[in-house]
Chains A and B, each alone.
Chain A
Amino acid sequence: ETGVTQTPRHLVMGMTNKKSLKCEQHLGHNAMYWYKQSAKKPLELMFVYSLEERVENNSVPSRFSPECPNSSHLFLHLHTLQPEDSALYLCASSQRAGPYEQYFGPGTRLTVT
């Protein structure tokens, strides 16, 4: 177990649905990250939270809405997604936002139909 958990592990949703991805870290870290991994493409950083404050938004469309209610939990709210948003969404955490090792969760495999 990596100490970072993600639910659900698999999600299929229609383009008009609203769903949320959840990430929880049990490592006492203060920074959390959302990444997107599409087929045959390098990982893309989406959002970074440090001490519950968003410090990075990597030009992500507004149909993705992150939320960090406390330093242990991170959500990604999804609405009106497109088929090209189908990907593996990975959550990570690190001690602080900076040159620290990032620990990853198992990911949520999202399919938009």
Chain B
Amino acid sequence: KQEVTQIPAALSVPEGENLVLNCSFTDSAIYNLQWFRQDPGKGLTSLLLIQSSQREQTSGRLNASLDKSSGRSTLYIAASQPGDSATYLCAALYSNYQLIWGAGTKLIIKP
């Protein structure tokens, strides 16, 4: 069964710290892996997409890595800010349509 797991479920850190969010997937035959941000009561904002042939993608203070062999992806956030507080979701694409989602990591950055 294809599953995506995100650990931890919640994380609270002081402003300015660097942090890593983890995503693991049971089936390594993914097409791509996507990281999203969701603010309370809002929709999803795509942060980074990593194709299966890629190892990492970067956007500003965000860096996402992908290791298919170990079934893991990480989202690294540098110099965290209170505005980074949100729920972060990862999703693995296994077919033309089927995105398998993690349950998310709720991140709180304390000023």
Contacts and interface: CB of A to CB of B under 8 A. Distances in A.
A48 interface: yes
Given A99-B93, A109-B41, A42 B51 contact: no
A13 to B, nearest CB: 18
Contact of B43 (A45, A48, A56, A90): A90
Q: How large, as a class, is the contact surface on chain B?
A: 20 to 34
A35 B91 CA distance: 13
Contact of A43 (B41, B42, B96, B99): B99
A106 B41 CA distance: 9
Given A42-B4, A109-B41, A103 B99 contact: no
B34 interface: yes
Contacts of A107: 42-43
Contacts of B43: 2, 6, 90, 104-107
Contacts of A98: 31, 96
Contacts of B96: 55, 97-99
Contacts of A88: 41
A97 B96 CA distance: 6
B31 A99 contact: yes
B4 A97 contact: no
B28 interface: no
Contacts of A56: 97-98
Interface in B70-105: 89, 91, 93, 96-104
Interface of A: 2, 6, 33, 40-43, 45, 48, 55-56, 88, 90, 92, 97-99, 101-107, 109
